[in-house]
Amino acid sequence: MAQPTMQQVAERAGVSLALVSLVMRQAPNVSDYRRQLVLEAAAELGYRPNVLARNLASRQTSTIGVVLNDIHNPFFAEIIDGIQAAFDEAGYRVLIGNGKRSPSGEAEMIETFLQFRVDGIISAGATMSMSSIEAASESTKIVVVGRSSRSQLIDSVNTDDVSGARMAVDHLVELGHHRIAHIDGGTGAGAEARRRGYSEAMTDHGLSAEIVTAGGDFTESGGYLAASELLSQSNQPTAIFAANDLSAAGALHRVEDAGLIVPDDVSIVGYDNTALAAMQHLSLTTVNQPRDELGRLAVRFVLERLRDKRTDSVHHMVAPTLVNRKTSSRLTTGAAT
Amino acid sequence: MAQPTMQQVAERAGVSLALVSLVMRQAPNVSDYRRQLVLEAAAELGYRPNVLARNLASRQTSTIGVVLNDIHNPFFAEIIDGIQAAFDEAGYRVLIGNGKRSPSGEAEMIETFLQFRVDGIISAGATMSMSSIEAASESTKIVVVGRSSRSQLIDSVNTDDVSGARMAVDHLVELGHHRIAHIDGGTGAGAEARRRGYSEAMTDHGLSAEIVTAGGDFTESGGYLAASELLSQSNQPTAIFAANDLSAAGALHRVEDAGLIVPDDVSIVGYDNTALAAMQHLSLTTVNQPRDELGRLAVRFVLERLRDKRTDSVHHMVAPTLVNRKTSSRLTTGAAT
DNA sequence: TTGTATGCGTTATCAT
DNA sequence: ATGATAACGCATACAA
C-alpha cells in the first residue's frame, strides 16, 4: 500500500524534486523534454499526488464539502446535481456528508469538513442552529441552501417559501376549497415560512376560521399520521396542503385508506416537486422549488467569496411555481360547506 | 480564516508541542493538570486539529470513502445507513461521493478518495470495470457492494440476485401466470444476474417459450418505455418482473396509462424493496435486498483487512426474500393463455 | 510525565 | 528552465 512519492519520481526521471512538482502542477515554464521524462516516470511508478501533503503545503484544498440534512430526501439529493455540475466547471471536487436528519449529525459533518480544511461548505436544509453555522463560518466560506437566514455572516439561497405556500392555498381556493388544512414540517428547514404563508393566505381569503395545522416532520410516515389526525376531526378538510412531497405522499395514502378518492373527495398539494411528485403514478400537484438553480446559486456564492473576496453577506430568494397535476381538483358541490 | 495551530496552543498553555499532541490524541500518560491547561488553551483559541497534517504524519486517515453509483437511487442511499452506523462505532468518519450513474464518474470519485489517502473505499453498485477497481485496490482496501465479483483481489458483498429473480418468477407462476416478461437493468450492477435468474426460472417452469425481455436501465423512465414495448406486442404479458423498484414504478404507470388495472390485468414485481416500494400508495410487490446488512457486511470486510490484516478475498452473498404487497395477484381465468 | 528532534509528501521562495 | 531548501501542521521515536 506504500505509495510512490515525488521523490521517487524525481530519481527515476533524473531530475529534481522541484521539477516534478512543477510538472504535476502543470506549470508553464518546463521544457517539453523534461516534462515527458517526468510524466513517463510517474506513469511507470503509478504515482498519484498526495492531496494531504499538497493541501497542507499550499494551504488550500480545492475541495468543497456539501452536508445534506438527509440523504434520503429526494429534495436534498436533487440539489446536489446543480452543485456538482457548477463545481466541476470551476475545478473543485465535492465531498458529500450525510447529516442523518439531526442537528448533531450535521454539526459532526461540518466539523469533519473543517478539519479537512475544505475551501468551502454548502449546507442543504440545515436544521442546526444558525449560531453554530456562523461559528463555523469563521473558519471557511459557508452558504446555506434551502433554509432562510438573515445572518450578517453567511450567504443563503432559498425559495420564497411564504409565497410558495400562498400559491398552494390560492390554487386550492380557486378550485372552490374552503376547508384547507396544512400538514407542516415541524422544525425542518422551511417549515416555518410555509406555515406562515399558509396562514397568511387563508386569512387573506377570509378563511382564518378554517386554519387547521397538523404536525408533520417532512417524512412519509409523518404525513400519514398527520392526515389521520385531520380526518378524525368533525370538520374534515376538503383539501390538504402538505409542507413537502414526502408528507403529501403519506397523506395521500391515508386519505385513500379511509376510502376517499383523491382528488374527488380530498385534494392534496405537496411542496418541492421532487422526482417523487413527478412520478406519474403519484402525479402530485405541488409547488416547485428550482433545485438545480438553488444548487448553482449556492456554488456561485461560495466562489464569489473565494475568488472575488466578497465579504458582505447576500441572501438570495428564488421564486417557486405551482405545478398542477392530478391530486387537486374543483370542489364538488356536494362536499361544500 | 487562519486557523490556530498546536504550536500556538502549546505556547499559550506553556507546554511543549508534543504534549499538546498527546492531549489531542487522548493519550493516557498525561497529568490531569497539564491536560486541563492544554484543553483550556485550545478552547480559548478555538483550536481544531488539522486533519491533513495529522494524516500526513500518521500515515492514516481514519476515513472511509463511499462511492455511490447514483445518489438518487434510493437503494444506494439506503445502503449508506448501515455503512455509517457501523463505521461510527468503529471510529471512522465516512465521506460520500456521487458517481453520477456513469463509470467515469465513479472512477473520478475513487481517484479523489485515493488522493486523499482514505483508509478504505466502499463502492456501491459500481458499473465501472472490475479491472479498474482492482487497480485501485493496490492503493487501499476496497470492497464492492451490490455488484457480483469473483475477483481474487477485492471483497464483495452482494445479494444472491439469481435466486432473487427466481423468487419473483416463482411467485408469479404460483399465482397462475405464464406470460411473464422481464424489464432488465441493462448494464447496471446486478442486472445480468437478475436476467439470468429470470431465464432459468422460466425454463425450469417449462416456460422458456414465454421468455421476453425488454431493455431498461434501472430508472423510472426506462421502465416506462420498456413497458410500452411489452404492451405493444401481440402477446401481452400478464405479469412483469422489473429489475428494480424504480423501473417497476415506471412500468406500473405505463400499464395504468394503457387503461389496465394492476394487479387485476397485469401483475408487477419489482426488486430492491426500497422505501419507494414500501410507500403505501405504490405498495409494490418486490424482492427485498437487506440493505442495512449489505452495508454492515461491507464495513466488516474493510475492517478485517484494516485491523486483522486479512489479505485473501472474500465474497459474501446474502439471501433475498420476497415481499408480497399489492401489485401482484392470481391470474384471472379470462386472461389465461 | 514531559520535551527534543526528525520526518510525512508537498508547495513555494530564492538562487542559479 | 531547473535545483536547493525552508515551510506546512502534526505524529512519533527517543531522551530526559
Please give the nucleotide, over all strands, whose C1' is closest to the CA of residue B8: D9
Write the pLDDT tens digit of every residue in A25-81. Answer: 999 999 999 999 999 999 999 999 999 999 999 999 999 999 999 999 999 999 999
In terms of DSSP bridges, do strands B63-68 and B315-318 run parallel, antiparallel, or are they unpaired?
unpaired
Chain A residue with minimum CA distance to B61: A52
Write the pLDDT tens digit of every residue in A89-120. Answer: 999 999 999 999 999 999 999 999 999 999 99
What percent of chain B is modeled with pLDDT above 70? 99
Q: Where in chain B is the domain with CATH 3.40.50.2300?
A: 63-160+291-319, 161-289
B56 touches strand C (CB under 7 A): yes
Residue nearest to nucleotide C13 (CA to C1'): A18
Q: Where in chain A is the domain with CATH 1.10.260.40?
A: 6-49
Of A96, A139, A249, Cβ closest to residue B97: A96
Chain A residue with minimum CA distance to B79: A72
If we measure between CA atoms, which residue out of B277, B74, B251 comes closest to residue A280? B251
Q: How confident is the model at residue A333 (pLDDT cuts 50, 70, 90)?
A: low
Q: How confident is the model at residue B281 (pLDDT cuts 50, 70, 90)?
A: confident
The pLDDT value recorded for residue B2 is: 86
Q: How confident is the model at residue A334 (pLDDT cuts 50, 70, 90)?
A: low
What percent of chain A is modeled with pLDDT above 90? 96
Q: How confident is the model at residue B247 (pLDDT cuts 50, 70, 90)?
A: very high
Span CA (A13) to C1' (D13), Å: 33
Average pLDDT score, chain B: 95
**What is the CATH code for A63-160+291-319?**
3.40.50.2300
Q: Which chain A residues contact residue B114 at CB under 8 A?
A: 48
DSSP state of B308: S
H helix intervals, chain B: 6-13, 17-24, 32-45, 51-58, 74-90, 103-115, 130-136, 161-174, 191-204, 220-231, 245-257, 275-278, 291-307
Average pLDDT score, chain A: 95
Q: How confident is the model at residue B1 (pLDDT cuts 50, 70, 90)?
A: confident
Measured between alpha carbons, how far is B284 from B273 in angstroms, rounded to an integer?
8
The pLDDT value recorded for residue A1 is: 81
Contact call for residues B146 and B124 (beta carbons, < 8 A) = yes
Strands across the sheet containing A141-145: A315-318, A155-159, A141-145, A120-124, A63-68, A93-98, B93-98, B63-68, B120-124, B141-145, B155-159, B315-318
Span CA (B7) to C1' (C11), Å: 21
Output the pTM of the full model.
0.94
A47 touches strand C (CB under 7 A): yes
B117 touches strand C (CB under 7 A): no
Strands across the sheet containing B285-288: B212-214, B180-183, B239-242, B267-272, B285-288, B321-323
Element (H, E) at A295: helix A291-307
Nucleotides in D strand less than 7 A from protein CB:
1-5, 7-13
In terms of DSSP bridges, do strands B285-288 and B321-323 run parallel, antiparallel, or are they unpaired?
antiparallel
pLDDT at A136 over 90: yes
What amino acid is encoded at B163 in this protein? S
Right CATH number for A6-49 from 3.50.50.60, 3.30.70.100, 1.10.260.40, 1.10.3720.10? Answer: 1.10.260.40
As a whole number, mean pLDDT of residues B272-300 equals 95
Q: CB distance A280–B95 less than 8 Å?
A: no
Q: Which chain A residues contact residue B53 at CB under 8 A?
A: 52, 56
Measured between alpha carbons, how far is B299 from B296 in angstroms, rounded to an integer?
5
Q: How confident is the model at residue B175 (pLDDT cuts 50, 70, 90)?
A: very high
Matching residue, cell 497542507: A56
Q: How confident is the model at residue B259 (pLDDT cuts 50, 70, 90)?
A: very high
Write down which residues 31-50 in B have CB closer than 7 A to strand C. Answer: 31, 33-35
Q: Report cis status (omega within 30 of 0) of the bond before A74.
A: no
pLDDT at B157 over 50: yes
Measured between alpha carbons, how far is A334 from A144 in angstroms, rounded to an integer?
47
If we measure between CA atoms, which residue out of A197, A221, A225 comes closest to residue A211? A197
Domain spanning A161-289: CATH 3.30.2130.10 = no
The pLDDT value recorded for residue B334 is: 56
Find the distance separating the first CA and the last CA of chain B, reported in whole Å.
73
B15 touches strand C (CB under 7 A): yes
Of A77, A249, A257, Cβ closest to residue B77: A77
Q: How confident is the model at residue A336 (pLDDT cuts 50, 70, 90)?
A: very low
Q: Which chain A residues contact residue B275 at CB under 8 A?
A: 72, 220
Nucleotides in C strand less than 7 A from protein CB:
1-5, 7-13
Please give the nucleotide, over all strands, whose C1' is closest to the CA of residue B27: C1
The pLDDT value recorded for residue B165 is: 98
Residue A334: Cβ within 10 Å count: 6
Chain B residue with minimum CA distance to A281: B253
Span CA (A52) to C1' (D2), Å: 26
Protein residues contacting strand D, judged by Cβ under 7 Å: A 15-19, 22, 28-31, 33-35, 53, 56-57, 59; B 3, 5-7, 17-18, 21-22, 24-25, 47, 49-50, 53-54, 56-58
A6 touches strand C (CB under 7 A): yes
DSSP string of B202-267, one letter each residue: HHHTT-GGG-EEE---SSHHHHHHHHHHHHTSSS--SEEEESSHHHHHHHHHHHHHTT--TTTT-E
Chain B residue with minimum CA distance to A68: B96
Write the pLDDT tens digit of every residue in B54-77. Answer: 999 999 999 999 999 999 999 999
pLDDT at A229 over 80: yes
Burial class (CB in 10 A: 0-12, 13-18, 19+), B213: middle
Distance from CA of B302 to the nearest CA of A (A): 14
pLDDT at A325 over 60: yes
Residue A12: Cβ within 10 Å count: 18
HSE value, Cβ hemisphere, 13 Å, CA-based, for B129: 3
Chain B residue with minimum CA distance to A85: B100
